[in-house]
Chain A
């Protein structure tokens, strides 16, 4: 177990604030709005964690995987860079640009690397793996076995920026308003144990996935053991990991639709399945629930998950955490509180409360090939 922080033998439940903004047209916008949105919910955190994720921020290196790595020691940096050089071709690397912020403690060394798996090395491997598998296995390795080094972002043309501090501090520190992206998500944390570890903040990410989470997973014990069968190891001691890995497993590996994946993780009740009118759909829902029983995420949660082409908001099956959504033109907003949306968009076209267990999805226009932003539950908006 990677021990970046001495007192990290335990898992930290997440109580917090989340917010996400996406422009379905793919137009880039600055981090100003997400910064304002998350700072509006300052009271939902206690200064022990905040973070941002953005997509579209590295257009010059869009085809390269970008690792954001934090080091507690210079020696860890050396070890990791040697490791990376063995398996990857590094196009460019540099310290992550930051602004000195007096109030932040224990700031780790922060670097970013734009790289691709080394094809020559790959050829020599006994088993052929896809690029994604390679990335996942190396990220897992570094996080598990190289002490004091932690990869906290590993996607293409996206990046996660997070640490221990209030959202305004972290936003300042990482110079969030300087970036421009088409998806932005942000998180503000209220951990109930004091954790000084920067890696414990949200968003949590793997490959192109980033996840922010407000809640506590009662089924963590079994979700974790289920994922271990597929090679995902939970190194972070936070619940959020399992959500990310479950999405990766269900959507990327098993090829399941986003909505259905949401319906596996926040599965409908048996009584609800019985009431579904089309017998084929009912049969599918029943089978999904039986086969993916260990992927059911129990316990309160409100999450926002993002990937290259979409942003999804989801609640647990009895909605024990708040989540509000709004739209204006091609923009979709999802947040824990309506005020966090209104402070950046005072006159949205629509505002509504997503229902328990039903995902709110926004897809990139180019990927979905549809004219309008496709929003689930548009018809059932409360206002």
Chain B
């Protein structure tokens, strides 16, 4: 058989009692799953086209639709899953790389689920964040090892003045920032929502490698502008307008390869912002072709620092791989003001499935070893460490901070807040929620007023939860938890894992 008929992944159940044939589902599905037959006055659905984004289910006014997974399956087989068979079938038909979107969906040990937090009792009172100040303020940037100051005696009192000048810092009201998502992989409305939420809450967002479109200039002062291997949209105005500059060496979803924006998503505006022809694939090269070694990176870091007159922090983003501790140590010594590390569960708009699921290490381990190594070398203060890669809740965030991160980047969580249901079809450009698309029929679906509200609420909700957990531990400032592994314990991890994470097993006391 040249082309096998494939089973659909999803079943669409329509409750005939509830369906009023308003045809909202017919109109809104970007994949044309539903259709209305006027002659027979029926609405029918083709599940083969369904990607499981649930937009129709959410919009149906009577709740008549239910999208569920299709259990029609091959014979139970521990080694050959249905997905495996399906993937090979596709490759037999196309001869190409299988693409996917969002973060890895295969099960790799979830270390966060094995780490638990402390609470203070009896010997130490817990602190109530509703009554006492609970400080989450975080500073990203290089810090000196000590402070030099002087004083004059005026009116019988000491009047101090600072001699040390602090390198440029980003000041965050919460240790959560929005991760890099390029204009092109996501719609303008998505970035508008995120940028506004970041500006209102007092944190930062990241332009990703898509450049800074004109409409987002009002939020540029809260933007970290990225300089990736394709150097899309990078000119002096771009660098000057942001709050910090980030050199993107790699990302967790696809370590070792460059960014990929399929031609379907390169519309007029994208083409102008990125300065490439419409409809062409935007493939960022795998390495920066001017960074083949650490000394080259140092050169670029300082070139950027010179370009912004040393007034903004310049950081580096890498994927978490085996040698991450040594790599980060090198990056810090190369002059970076911060290092962002993206773990294997990081998301993406398009990546080869096989790389997304098999290359890289979990962020929990990466943070632990990086933090420890930098301390051993006495250089931990020279750069901030930002963790990224699939943070799902405030608990994940607080554990990452306790392991040693200064702050975290959230990407997938922010998109889910905007409506994403992780159908992993971002690379098709047919995102029904108006997020990962440039199609004007679809981009209007995301109202940035609503989006900004929801993203802000996410930041607020997680920040308040973090405060509750901090107070529960008897801590009222986030810097007392940062790197404080005594407040963590492991459950169900072996000795080696605990050694790498640097935490004791639950039940062990101080």
A and B touch in the complex (CB under 8 A): yes
A residues with CB within 8 A of B:
10-13, 15, 192-193, 215-216, 218-222, 224-225, 228-229, 237, 254, 256-257, 260, 267, 269-271, 278, 280-281, 283-284, 287-288, 290-294, 296-300, 317-318, 320
Which residue of the partner chain B has the closest CB to A224? B486
Q: Does B79 belong to the interface (CB within 8 Å)?
A: no
Complexed CA–CA distance, A202 and B367 (Å): 36
With contacts A280-B162, A281-B159, A284-B161 known, is A299 near B475, CB below 8 A? Answer: yes
Q: Are A13 and B510 in contact (CB under 8 A)?
A: yes
B172 adjacent to chain A (CB < 8 Å): no
- Please name all residues of chain B whose beta carbon is closer than 8 Å to the beta carbon of A291 when the two chains form the complex: 143-147, 164, 166, 381
**How far does the Cβ of A56 sit from chain B's closest Cβ, in whole Å?**
28
Residue among B147, B162, B484 making CB contact with A222, cutoff 8 Å: B484
Q: Which of B133, B380, B510 contacts A229 (CB 8 A)?
A: B380
**For the complex, is B96 an interface residue (Cβ under 8 Å from A)?**
no
User: Which 3 pairs from chain A and chain B are nearest by CB?
Assistant: A11-B510, A221-B486, A219-B480
Contact status of A221 and B378, CB under 8 A, knowing A216-B123, A216-B124, A287-B164: no
Closest residue on chain A to residue B136 by CB atoms: A270
A271 with B144: in contact, given A222-B484, A290-B166 (CB under 8 Å)? no
Task: Write the chain B residue with the least CB distance to A285.
Answer: B160
Interface string of B120-139 (1 = CB under 8 A from A): 10111101000011010101
Would A220 and B486 be within 8 Å (CB), given that A10-B510, A296-B480 are in contact? yes
What distance in Å separates the Cβ of B381 from its nearest Cβ neighbour in chain A? 7
Bound Cα distance from A156 to B357, whole angstroms: 63
**Neighbouring B residues of A318 by C-beta, 8 Å:** 127, 132, 476
Binding site for A on B (CB under 8 A): 120, 122-125, 127, 132-133, 135, 137, 139, 143-147, 149, 151, 158-162, 164, 166, 169, 375, 378, 380-381, 473-477, 479-487, 508-510
B-chain residues with CB within 8 Å of residue A296 when the two chains form the complex: 477, 479-480
Q: Give the chain B neighbours of A220 by CB distance below 8 A.
A: 484, 486, 510
Give 20 A-B contacts (CB < 8 Å), ordered by A residue. Answer: A10-B508, A10-B510, A15-B123, A218-B473, A219-B481, A221-B487, A222-B484, A225-B483, A229-B375, A267-B477, A281-B160, A284-B160, A287-B147, A287-B166, A288-B147, A290-B143, A296-B479, A297-B480, A298-B475, A298-B476
Task: Choose among B120, B162, B479, B486 the residue that contacts A284 (Cβ–Cβ < 8 A).
Answer: B162
- Which of A192, A278, A293 has the most chain B CB atoms closer than 10 A to its own CB? A293
Residue from A13, A228, A229, A271 within 8 A of B124 (CB atoms): A13
In the complex, what's the smallest C-beta–C-beta distance from B119 to chain A, in angstroms? 10
Known: A269-B133, A318-B127. A287 touches B485 (CB 8 A): no
Q: Does B147 lie within 8 Å of A292, measured CB to CB?
A: yes
Cross-chain contact B375 with A225 (CB below 8 angstroms): yes
Distance (Å) between the CB of A248 and the closest chain B CB?
14
A243 smallest CB distance to B (angstroms)? 14
**Inter-chain contact B509/A11, CB cutoff 8 Å:** yes
Known contacts A221-B483, A222-B481; 12 additional CB pairs below 8 A are: A13-B510, A192-B123, A215-B124, A218-B474, A229-B380, A270-B135, A284-B160, A288-B147, A297-B480, A299-B480, A300-B124, A318-B132
Q: With a CB–CB cut-off of 8 A, which chain A residues contact B122?
A: 192
A222–B380 alpha-carbon span in the complex (Å): 12
- B510 interface neighbour in A12, A281, A290, Cβ under 8 Å: A12
Closest Cβ neighbor of A288 among chain B residues: B147
A256 to B158, CA, bound (A): 14
